[in-house]
Amino acid sequence: MRCFDRALEKRMQNRPSGFGNPWLQLGVSVVFVFVSELLLKRGASAIAAPDEPFSWTGINGLASPLVWWAIVLIVGSFVSWLYVLRYIPLSLAYPLSRVVDILVPLGCWIFLGELISTLRWCGIALVVIGLALVAKPIAKMEERL
Amino acid sequence: MSFLAFFFILISLVTFVAAQLILKRAMEFSATHGLRNAYFMSRVTIGVVLMTVSFFLTLGLLQRFDLSYLYPFQGLSVIFITILAAVVLKERLSARLTIGALLITAGIVLVSMS
């Protein structure tokens, strides 16, 4: 663990600050993914045609303007993500990026009117604990830098 | 869920995980060799193609299932990517990180079962 910390700490000492901060870019990527998922669901539902033979490919989703907005956000999140990958190990960055798995059900509840059951709330709680475990050493490292 | 739906969810997951590993390797390479070289460009292209396949399959699945039901299957990618990053990319895994990734995966699976 210490070895891992030191290697990451050394790399992060040279990280860009401000908007180029990899942690900020990770946040930007997560927000873009979150909004794009909600837009995709809205867009896909609006033009849903499950009986058509090629609808499994999702290509017909391109008929919805919301899907195109979602694609713009996905491209944006992808660029941020590539930037993140340049600085942060994948085994660290990817679990942290899954904070979106809490945001999406909450967003579905708030914006799309989908229900959240007790079991689903328990699942969300487990994700929060897991994220806290992964993020705590990073917060300590950032304090040292 | 039908076999076809399971099949498409699986393909969507595998292409996504493979894309992440390939893109990480490409970005590591770019840190020392820059962006203008054939290795970097080819890896990023493969990564983008794989992510595009995963995206359109997800779009097809979204027409049939609630987002809050379908999306968490991608959560399984957390544990796959964490383990494969250690095995393939030789990243160091602490016990804390492994437990954290397992909890995130368990939580996401619970959400998908509910």
Q: How close, in Å, is residue B94 to chain A by CA atoms? A: 5
Q: What letter represents residue A24's amino acid?
A: L
Residue of B nearest to A2 (CA): B94
- The one-letter amino acid code at B54 reads S
Residue B91, sorted as left (phi over 0), alpha (psi -120 to 50) or beta, turns out to be: beta
Q: Which has more pLDDT, A71 or A112?
A: A71
Q: What pTM value is reported for the model? A: 0.81
* B35 interface with A at CB cutoff 8 Å: no
Whether residue B110 and residue A120 make contact (CB cut-off 8 A), yes or no, is yes
Do A120 and B85 make contact, defined as CB atoms within 8 angstroms? no
How far apart, in Å, are the Cα atoms of A19 and each of A26, A80, A142, B9, B78? 11, 11, 16, 35, 26
A88: alpha, beta or left, given left = phi > 0 and alpha = psi -120 to 50? beta
Residue B62 contacts A where some CB pair is shorter than 8 Å: yes
- Is the CB of B111 less than 8 angstroms away from the CB of A114? no
Q: Among A32-41, B17-26, B71-80, where is mean pLDDT lowest?
A: B71-80
A91 Cα to chain B: minimum distance (Å): 5
Are residues A90 and B60, on separate chains, in Cβ contact within 8 Å? Answer: no
* Per-domain residue ranges of chain A: 2-144
Give the separation between CA A39 and CA A56, rounded to whole angstroms. 18
* Segment B33-39 mean pLDDT: 87
ipTM over 0.85: no
